[in-house]
Amino acid sequence: MKLDNNNENENKEILENDKLREKKQGENKDLEKDTDTYTNKEDEKLNNKLQKKLKEYKNIVRDWGQPIGNLLKKTIGFYYGIIHIIFVFLCGIILFFSNDVFFLCVLLFIISLDSFAIIVLHDCPLTQLEEKYFSISGKRTVKEFLHRLGIMHKCDHLYESQLEFIINMWIAVVFKILIIIAYKMSKTVKM
């Protein structure tokens, strides 16, 4: 009998402990909900106060810095645009007016590096820099101009047209090198 009473008492204690645990867990969940709401409300109040203070106090550095920062960005973008134009122009001059095979091989190497960069980045690096700072690039301007004239590529991506231009330039340089080599060989060989 005593054993049965002990077992019954233990079972009652276990049930009471389980009920207490469930009750505490329920209270803890309610407490967590209250604290979450409290912190969110507090954060919102603090954020509103900070926003009001920022509107009240005008910051001279920010007021003057914004236009200067925009001007600096535009200047850097313009710089990259000029570098891009000079690069293409000088490559064309070397291609058309140089008969030195060494210069043409250097030009071929530079064009190959540029084509590798275009393939890896899916865009010309200088075009990306122009767009980053100037928010427009020479290539996009030319593409829009050609679209207005009715001249369009099959694909609307700049990547393909840039790669096409680089491949054509590369072929022109190689063709000129081959012509110069053949011309020099024909001069040395007398029939």
| pLDDT digits 0-9 by tens, 77-95 | 889 889 989 999 999 999 9
Residue type at 111? Answer: I
Q: Check whether residue 5 and residue 86 sit in a common domain.
A: no
* CA nearest to 138, candidates 172, 167, 165, 104: 165
Domain-embedded: residue 68: no
Asked if residue 31 has pLDDT above 70, the reply is: no
- Residue 97 CB contacts under 8 Å (≥ 6 apart), including other chains: none
Domain encompassing residue 163? 74-188
Is pLDDT larger for residue 143 or for residue 54?
143
Q: Check whether residue 100 and residue 11 sit in a common domain.
A: no
Domain-embedded: residue 143: yes
Domain-embedded: residue 162: yes
In the chain, what percentage of residues exceed pLDDT 90? 27
Domain-embedded: residue 124: yes
Domain-embedded: residue 95: yes
Domain-embedded: residue 167: yes
Total domain count for the chain?
A: 2
Domain-embedded: residue 63: no
Q: Check whether residue 168 and residue 85 sit in a common domain.
A: yes
Q: Check whether residue 178 and residue 115 sit in a common domain.
A: yes
Indicate the pLDDT class of residue 47, thresholds 50, 70 and 90: confident
Give residue-wise pLDDT tens across range 1-20.
444 555 566 666 666 766 66
Q: Give the number of other CB atoms < 10 A from CB of residue 148.
A: 8
pTM exceeding the 0.75 threshold for the entire prediction: no
Is pLDDT larger for residue 67 or for residue 105?
105
Q: Check whether residue 108 and residue 15 sit in a common domain.
A: no
Q: Check whether residue 21 and residue 106 sit in a common domain.
A: no
Domain-embedded: residue 19: yes
